[in-house]
Structure 1
């Protein structure tokens, strides 16, 4: 049983994919639920949602043509606690081929690297999954605050306009 449910459907602009839910998110049963996580605030700041969505209301995110999933569906915790065997890149690839969003956006370099199997930089990637383009974002986690930059998030939002 997954820690958090996928929020995937046809005709999405962006599917956000993290590595795995953090401990607070797993406890609360909501994506990006830790108060120190900038995910929901950033979606609003870059114009992807018309107001700041609360983590407890994550299931309504599809109304904004946004979806949510994680690369590791059966475990939770900080990235430093995750093992390569926790990730399911082939399962994610199947989901993206099935739902065909415009963009798959990894919400951390670790998620992008685990999926692509190589080092990545933030921004638009060369690889695609079918018609879906791939984008890597700096992590909104409070644990990654020293690497935070909003500019890649702004670039992602501009791709949807």
Structure 2
């Protein structure tokens, strides 16, 4: 799955790695059971509910780009489950993200998945929310994994954390 809009985005949304469907349709968080898009909409961050299950439409891409969103993953390799990734892939992914952030200078990075963030950035005690460290000058936020397999989150709890990350540090 390609990175989306990193060259112009001020707010990067970073997944763990592309799943099979996301790779096939070239769109992030595309599985119908994933709560990412409903949470983004509930948070008021998009004007309509995006359906990425068949890929992003040109209208979706335009709206996301104009809203300042960028999309990438810690690990670019597609797998059926994140458990198939090695620690080395996470560490290499963290270095890749640092280099991309140095190049493009986003305002904030939002990682969707606490376990992946802890592994990639060697922060075993990291908690959800704003992190004390910056990456290339960008605020770092960690939110829950929106996968339908994550029983610890709901659309509403995800929406609340997304909105907090989105509004922090934004000019009002």
Please give the TM-score of this superposition, normalised by the length of structure 1: 0.88
**Structure 1 unmatched ranges of 5 or more:** none
1:16, 1:107 within 8 Å by CA — same for their partners in 2? yes
Please give the TM-score of this superposition, normalised by the length of structure 2: 0.83
Rounded to whole Å, the distance in 2 between the matches of 1:125 and 1:69 is 19
1:25, 1:33 within 8 Å by CA — same for their partners in 2? yes
Q: Secondary structure at the match of 2:139?
A: strand
* Corresponding position of 1:157: 166
**What is the number of residues matched between the two proteins?**
156
Rounded to whole Å, the distance in 2 between the matches of 1:22 and 1:59 is 20
Match of 2:69 among 55, 66, 70: 66
Report the Cα offset of residue 136 of structure 1: 0.1
State the Cα RMSD in Å: 1.7
* Corresponding position of 1:39: 36
- How big is each residue's C-alpha offset from its partner over 1:15-45, in whole Å with a ceiling of 9 and x where there is no partner? 0111101222123222111000011111111
* Corresponding position of 2:131: 125
**Structure 2 unmatched ranges of 5 or more:** none
1:46, 1:157 within 8 Å by CA — same for their partners in 2? no
- How big is each residue's C-alpha offset from its partner over 1:72-111, in whole Å with a ceiling of 9 and x where there is no partner? 1123232222211223211110001111111100011123
Moved more, 45-54 or 135-144: 45-54
Match of 1:52 among 32, 49, 54: 49
1:84 aligns with 2:90: no
- How big is each residue's C-alpha offset from its partner over 1:133-152, in whole Å with a ceiling of 9 and x where there is no partner? 100010111111x1113332
